[in-house]
Structure 1
Amino acid sequence: MAVRACALLFLAFTTAAARECIELTLPDKSLLTDSILNGTILKLAAKNESFEESGRFNVVEMWERFPKIVVPRNGTSDQCRRDSQLYLDSLERLELWALKMFDATAKPPAGILSGNGNQYGDFDECLSIDGAVRGKYCLASLQVSFHGDKNMADIDTLVHSGHYIRSNITDMGHRVPRYSSLLWGVCIPSSCSSFDLEEELSENLSSLGISVKVHNTMCTVKDFNRPYSFGKTLSITFFLAIILLLSLGTILDDDKEGATNFEKLLNAFSLKRNLKKIFDLSDSPTKVKGIDAFRGVNALALLIAHKSMAMAHNPYVNKVSYSNVFGMPWAVVGRSAILYTDSFLYLSGFLNANNLLQDLERKGTINLKDRLIARWFRLFPLFVSLMLFCTYILPDVNNGPQWNLVVEEHSRVCEKNMWKSFLFIHNYFGFEEMCLTHTHQIGMDMQLYVATLPLMVLIWKFKKLGWSLLVLIAVASTVLRYLAIYWYDISMFVYFGISVQKLLDAARYSYILPTHRATIYLIGMVMAYLMKSKKLNFTLSTAQSRLLWCSCFGLAIFTVVSPYRMGLEGYQYEHYPAAMFAAFSPILWGLVMCVAHWAICNDYAGVGTAFVEARVFKFFNKIAYSVYLTQFPIFFYNVGIQRHAEYYSPLLLLHFPEVLTVLLVSIMATVAIEMPFNKVYRIYFGTSQTKLKDK
């Protein structure tokens, strides 16, 4: 037995030696190296060699190999290298400032597979370091990718919180979140740059398959003094002037109507007088029924939809739950948010046409100059106030890990592109270069209003030509929507797994263009004409009224939920359903609005009358414009100051303190800016001008 064993060992040894000799002399591809036996051996060896480079190894060894001490040892400046070495030496001696710098830097946590991948570290602790070395806080973006079998794909999905929105580290993040990128807080010496940190992290993390980007704007030091610009001086002067007028108007208000223009001007800025009017909920004799309810319901729906997008910026210990919730079928109600903006376009078209028809009935023409000035006073004062505040005042108010991204970056974009907003053309330049991206609707509304003026004159004087042109524009707008979606592979529905770039493309090529959104606006104009001309005056029985409402609700539900499959996890983009939804959903939703509006105006609301005429809607209608403008700055303010991950719950969509803040700020903006400037228009340009001249 011993002899046989020795013989076998000798045979194995000689075979291995011969194999090594043969492989040294043979080319890479030969009969032997391609043999079944040797191929199997080579594949096994290759598998063992590449195991350490696989995604599976990265997951298991992530905590072991992730750098515990992050400092740019090879910084580009001598001072950075000296401070980095001083930090390492001081840390070894357990000096307090060095321990704080180490402690303030994020570490790999538990719960990464639950979505707890965004780690801010300790922002305030880092900025408090002011000893031998000052602390600089940087928020790095990490791109992690796991490839391989299904198990790796599942891990990749969990690490990226379900890929609710797909992004990369180079995407803009100040409006649409870099959802798929992990945010990692690092505290380094202030003498080191973002480039130094990026190089250090890349060197340490590349072996784990992690890409790194550290934007210069994502680094913060304590007591950073921003340059004092002319725009900031102008903004401070503007707001001080407003405060002075409000103070004088409120203090000198004696509850009497002013006799001179100056007295009327001061009364216009009286907070006491404006607050009384904003809480006066009596109906105007010319008020159109249903407008308040439509505006209130759709504004609430948009508020929730906008909040859900802002929440995607925040870190959560269970961010996978966030993705799961918005991947449920019922979440289609939020993903179809474009329909709620369509509601406002319908209301705008209806109200604008209704007011212009009143002018045409009285005068037979439209005073273009007066109408444009009135529209300017309606939209611009509060709009410019918000832009100036967010550009020059808000950045100095607070700070936080994402403050530079969601507040400072908006300020930089506004400083460069604000002039486009002044001209109401900002919606033609895409979200990337737009000051306060949520204001695109104001640009569209102004442009559609200007186009409405000659169109209404044509309809009034040359009916056949006017109506033909209106139908042609509506059809052309529908075709443009369909083609834009089909050609650019975009979607007006926020489908599951959509990329940041596709969201931006959807905005640029369709969502923010009046040419593509005009259809439902024109439907509102048509409805105003039909109701004004009493062409829809007929009566319904109770049964017919109920059938009408059932049909209306059925069509509304169908329009909202028809693309629900696109919102489910695992959806793969398809051109046709996306193009059909974009082309025809505004038409279907316009029919819903028309039917509901007609029924309410003709007292067929039935048991819903109390809801439609609720006082809360009458109040909200007065602050609706302010709510629309102020909600995103407030949302992003809270995102910017967020210091740590919290537990996600759907109830955060209506976080009471935040909603209350939106309401209070909107009330103050309305009584301090919107209402006073509307009165200024009436004093100097409106109907009261004649009376003042007569005096």
Structure 2
Amino acid sequence: MHTNMRKICIAVVVVLLCIAVKYSQANSSIRTSSGLDTNQNHNSAIPDDDENSRPDSFALKYGRILRSDEFERFDKSLQLVQGERCMLDLNATLWGVVHEEQWAVAMYDASAKGISGVENGLVYQFGHYDQCLDLNKHVEADELNGISIRSKYCLAEVKLDGLQIQKMGSRKIRSGNSTIIHWGACIPASCNAKDVGIFLESFLQKSVNVDENMCQIGKHEIIATKEMIIYASVVLFFVTLAMLSTFYHIYQLYVNRNEHKRPRIDTALKAFSIIENLKKLGQSSKDQMGLNAINGIKALAMIFILGGHALSFIYSGPVYNSGFMAENLLQVQNAVLTNSLLFVDIFLFLSGFLFCKILLIELERRRGNVNVAILYVGRYIRLTPSYMAVLGFYMTWFSTMGNGPIWQSTIGLEQERCQQSWWLNILYINNYVGTDNLCMFQSWYLSVDTQLFFFAPIAILFLHKSRRFGFQFLLIVLAVTVAIPFTITYVNKLDPTLMVYADEVQDFASNKFYTGSYIKTHMRATDYVIGILAGFIVHLMQEKNTKIPKLYTKILWVASIVVGTLSMFSITRFYTSPFTVLESSLYAAFHKVGWGLCIGWLVIAVTTGHAVYLQKFLACRVFAPISRLTYCAYLCNGIVELYHASDIRFPHYLSRVDMFHKATMHSLDTFALALIVCLLFESPIHALERILFKTFSKPSQPKGSSSTPSTSEEQIA
């Protein structure tokens, strides 16, 4: 009995020794982090039937994480990379995955594993960005035999054959049955973009492209540059001024000083007071010249503009179901969003309208003696400081405010563009010069409006000198502004307007139609000229107290609603089916005219007493602070949209409720940021500008005349 037991024990020991020897031989074929064994043969995968029959042996050879085919592809792929350190670290990672070391398993786990939903538009397979880069915080040298392996996240472009998006928001006709997907990979940081591409191409057995800009090693390191320190110092200076001015204001309130007749020095000391500027922001406007309703028009237009921007950025980014927007582009009722670009023209219209209305009053008050140079200087002083504050943020701290798989490729690119072309922005010529490096996608508006602002005094002086000649001159200019878009669109066979296809609005600066046509002043002047004409008409009607008969009023309302509706919603025709060059040219030329006439009648009606109830609604006090924030909201919206679009970790699921919620949140974020810029920069500098020009310019006012209305100072341009 004892003899049999002894034989059994000896047999068990022999078997265990054989298994140990075999396991040792298997492991010796794997390179470790301490060196390379170039003579080993790694083609020793266990056949599938053997794996099924002997799972314990498979686990000993490959571990429990990798399948045998993954092991073989990983091992074969790492041998192809050119960097020696990259090869060593990839090999150590493979060793770590087989032995289930936490760092290696986490690195492997953070990489995308497979594809799903490509035919429904899911082309972003992110993996787990944060898990990959968070590993770098826990690397210890003694864990890896003296070699510290940092992780690196790359978002590669992989050409996938056999799958194709069935419904996508693009007009491009795909050739072949293939799709480019974005594949998240977590690999050792020692591998450059070329090595990552070689490794992934072999491992995935697909065509792969990797750009160094799509790779990131860290996300928490902030290295302050000289420019960042200078910008922070300037902002801190303005914050200090705001605090000191606020303390002075509180002191004045405490000692109960008379605030009604205070000297200019007191006004200057309060210019940066948060209390004073909040009070100015929230107070109701004096309804001089019937312009109070402009506040409501501006506020509502800006809300629609912000909503359109938000939806464009969401739709053009990583989405779960691209077919949702592809279908919605074809629906007429959604044109108010796809054609929200027309709401920008409302501000061009109002800029021309307000400038004409107020300059005509000043010309009459001063008997034609108006210094146009002061108008230009005042405008520059009023607009540029806030503009520079936002531009400075783009150039310095913006890139440190977040992170994500596509953060570096979008925010980093935007920062680079702004660093190269910021001076074109503050010269207001960036819509013609340096458009390939356009900084701030929405900045074209200020350039267009400024260039038209230089033209406006000429036309308005003509109106003042000879109303008939000035009116005829403006009609000729209007005809030219209609003919130019028609001709250019027809000759160059352009789109009727900016089409909001996902792949075309993903990066506005790389959109040829956007930079070559959409942002040009000669393509956008129509509604500004109509605004000047409307300002002249309102001036005459208020001067003579003219009232339009009710029958004509009704006809004008019906006509304006019909024309405005056609101008807004007819854009759907160009999404539903192919269109001719003539159709495109006619729309490009006349849809702005129709929209401008519609808005023109609305403004004329509410400022001359032909729409009492509508005027009361638009003049509601709630619109006043929103209207005053429109300029700063316009400046800050790009920051909000770029941040939310670039900080993304997983694709958006698009639905009407979800998109409405996101658009609302983005708009609130924009106005919150706008409030900060307004209180620190725009409102204080505007107050100082008014003091400065009152000091050097004292117009003689006829007895009983009213001062220039505050609405003129609140316009976006």
Query: Which TM-score band (shorter chain)?
Result: 0.7 to 0.9
* TM-align CA RMSD: 3.1
Percent identical among aligned pairs is 23
Aligned to 2:511: 504
SS at 2:216's partner residue? strand
- Report if aligned partners of 2:632, 2:674 keep a CA contact under 8 Å in 1: yes
Q: Which runs of 5+ in 1 are unaligned?
A: 1-63, 147-154, 169-179
1:648 to 2:654 alignment: yes
Indicate the SS of the match to 2:184. Answer: strand
| 1:145 positional shift | 6.4
Classify the secondary structure of the residue corresponding to 2:135. coil
Structure 1 residue 347, shift from structure 2 partner: 0.6
Q: Which residue of 2 is the match for residue 517 of structure 1?
A: 524
Q: Give the 5 Å matches for 1:119-138.
A: 119-130=125-136, 131=139, 132-138=148-154
Partner residue of 1:638 out of 622, 633, 644: 644
Partner Cα separation in structure 2 for residue 662 and residue 588 of structure 1: 30
Instruction: State the one-letter code of the partner of 1:676.
Output: P
Contact 2:391–2:418 (CA under 8 A) maintained in structure 1: yes
Change (3 A) 1:355 1:572: same
CA apart distance, 1:416: 0.9
1:523 CA drift (Å): 0.9
Q: Tell me by how many angstroms 1:374 deviates.
A: 1.3
Shift of 1:133: 1.1
Q: Which of residues 235, 257, 262 in structure 2 aligns to 1:239? A: 235
User: 1:623 Cα deviation (Å)?
Assistant: 0.7
Displacement after TM superposition at 1:532 (Å):
1.2
TM-superposition CA deviations, 1:27-55 (whole Å, max 9, x none): xxxxxxxxxxxxxxxxxxxxxxxxxxxxx
Shift of 1:385: 0.7
Task: Give the secondary structure class of the aligned counterpart of 1:137.
Answer: strand
Q: 1:244-323 to 2 correspondence within 5 Å?
A: 244-253=240-249, 254-255=252-253, 263-286=266-289, 288-323=291-326
CA distance in 2, matches of 1:84, 1:471: 72
- Show the counterpart of 1:339: 342
Match of 2:398 among 394, 400, 406: 394
Matching residue's letter, 2:566: F
Q: 1:512 to 1:144 in 2, by over 3 A?
A: farther
**Deviations 1:195-242 (CA, angstroms, capped at 9, x unpaired):** 32233344556x65x5x4333222211257566544323211211111
The answer to whether the 8 Å contact 2:294/2:619 transfers is no
Match of 1:40 in 2: none
Instruction: Specify the code of the residue in structure 2 equivalent to 1:390.
Output: Y
- Give 1:308's aligned amino acid: L
- Contact 2:303 / 2:667 at 8 angstroms: preserved in 1? no
1:539-562 CA distance string (max 9 Å, x none): 345554334322221111111122
Aligned pair partner of 2:373 in 369, 376, 381: 369
User: Which residue of the other structure, out of 105, 110, 120, is the alignment partner of 1:104?
Assistant: 110
Instruction: Pick closer, same or farther for the CA change 1:136–1:237 going to 2, 3 Å.
Output: same
| CA 1:563–1:397: 2 relative to 1, 3 Å | closer
- C-alpha distance in structure 1 between counterparts of 2:435 and 2:406, whole Å: 19
Give the Å deviation of 1:83.
Answer: 1.4
- Tell me the TM-score normalized by structure 1: 0.80
The SS at the match of 1:185 is: strand
Report the Cα distance in structure 2 between the residues aligned to 1:320 and 1:288, rounded to whole angstroms. Answer: 44
Structure 2 partner of 1:354: 357
Indicate conservation of the 8 Å contact 1:327/1:496, yes or no: no
Matching of residues 16-55 of structure 1 within 5 Å? none
Residues 457-476 of structure 1 aligned to structure 2 (within 5 Å): 457-461=461-465, 466-476=470-480
Q: Counterpart amino acid of 2:630?
A: A
Per the alignment, residue 532 of structure 1 pairs with: 539
Change (3 A) 1:465 1:224: same
Which residue in 2 is equivalent to 1:612? 618
Are 1:80 and 2:86 matched, yes or no? yes
Distance 2:229 2:79 in 1: 42
Does 94-103 or 253-262 show the bigger shift?
253-262
What's the secondary structure of 1:333's corresponding residue? helix
* 2:384 equivalent to 1:384: no
Q: Which structure 2 segments of 5+ residues have no match? A: 1-68, 140-147, 700-717
2:212 maps to which of 213, 216, 233: 216
SS of equivalent to 2:156:
strand
Counterpart residue identity of residue 153, structure 2: Y
Residue 78 (structure 1) shift: 2.2
The question of whether the paired residues in 2 share the 8 Å contact of 1:123 and 1:400 is answered with: yes
Q: CA–CA distance in 2 between the matches of 1:308 and 1:470?
A: 37
By how many angstroms is 1:384 displaced? 0.8
Does 2:563 correspond to 1:560? no
Instruction: Sort the Cα spacing of 1:66 and 1:594 in 2 relative to 1 into closer, same or farther, 3 A.
Output: farther
Deviation (angstroms), 1:415 = 0.7
1:134, CA displacement in angstroms? 0.8
Q: 1:419 aligns with which of 417, 423, 429?
A: 423
Partner of 2:66: none
Q: For 2:431, what is the secondary structure of its paired residue? A: helix
Match of 1:486 among 445, 467, 490: 490
Change in CA separation of 1:145 and 1:341 when aligned onto 2, cut-off 3 Å: farther
- Per mean C-alpha deviation after superposition, the further-off stretch among 236-245 and 188-197 is 188-197
Contact 1:72 1:192 in 2 (8 A): no
| CA–CA separation in structure 2 for the residues paired with 1:322 and 1:436 | 25
User: Judging changes above 3 Å, is the alpha-carbon distance between structure 1 residues 340 and 578 closer, same or farther for their aligned structure 2 residues?
Assistant: same
Helix, strand or coil: the match of 1:268? coil
Q: Which moved more, 1:87-96 or 1:219-228?
A: 219-228
Match of 1:686 in 2: 694
Question: How many Å separate the matches in 1 of 2:471 and 2:602?
Answer: 23
CA distance in 1, matches of 2:402, 2:595: 42
The DSSP-based 3-state class of the residue aligned with 2:182 is strand
Kept after mapping to 2: 8 A contact 1:165/1:499 = no
Moved more, 461-470 or 394-403: 461-470
Is the contact made by 2:538 and 2:607 (CA closer than 8 Å) also made in structure 1?
Answer: no
Aligned to 2:450: 446
Whole-angstrom distance in 1 between the partners of 2:240 and 2:363: 41
Q: Tell me the distance in 1 between the aligned counterparts of 2:639 and 2:157.
A: 23
Q: Structure 1 residues 122 and 549 mapped into 2: Cα distance closer, same or farther (>3 Å)? A: same
Distance across 2 between alignment mates of 1:183 and 1:167:
20
Q: Single out whichever of 218-227 and 526-535 deviates more from structure 2.
A: 218-227
CA distance in 2, matches of 1:517, 1:293: 23
User: Secondary structure at 1:563's aligned position in 2?
Assistant: helix
1:186–1:313 Cα change, 3 Å: farther
Report the Cα offset of residue 111 of structure 1.
Answer: 2.5
Displacement of 1:167 in angstroms is: 11
Q: Aligned partners of 2:689 and 2:84: how far apart in 1?
A: 61
C-alpha contact 1:245 1:266 (8 A) present in aligned 2: no
Q: TM-score, normalised by structure 2?
A: 0.77
- Does 2:605 correspond to 1:586? no
Paired residues in the alignment total 602
8 Å CA contact 1:166, 1:497 repeated in 2: no
Give, as a single letter, the amino acid of the residue that structure 2 aligns with 1:294. Answer: I
Matching of residue 409 in structure 1 with residue 438 in structure 2: no
* Most deviating of 109-118 and 351-360: 109-118
How far apart, CA to CA, are the structure 2 residues paired with 1:542 and 1:104? 70
Partners of 1:382 and 1:505 in 2: CA distance: 29
Could you list the per-position Cα deviations for residues 105-132 of structure 1 after superposition, in whole angstroms to 9, with x for gaps in the alignment? Answer: 1222433322222121111111112333
Deviates more, 1:648-657 or 1:98-107: 648-657
Structure 1: how far apart are the matches of 2:602 and 2:666? 32
Q: 1:657 offset after TM fit, Å?
A: 3.6
**Mean CA deviation greater in 124-133 or 236-245:** 124-133
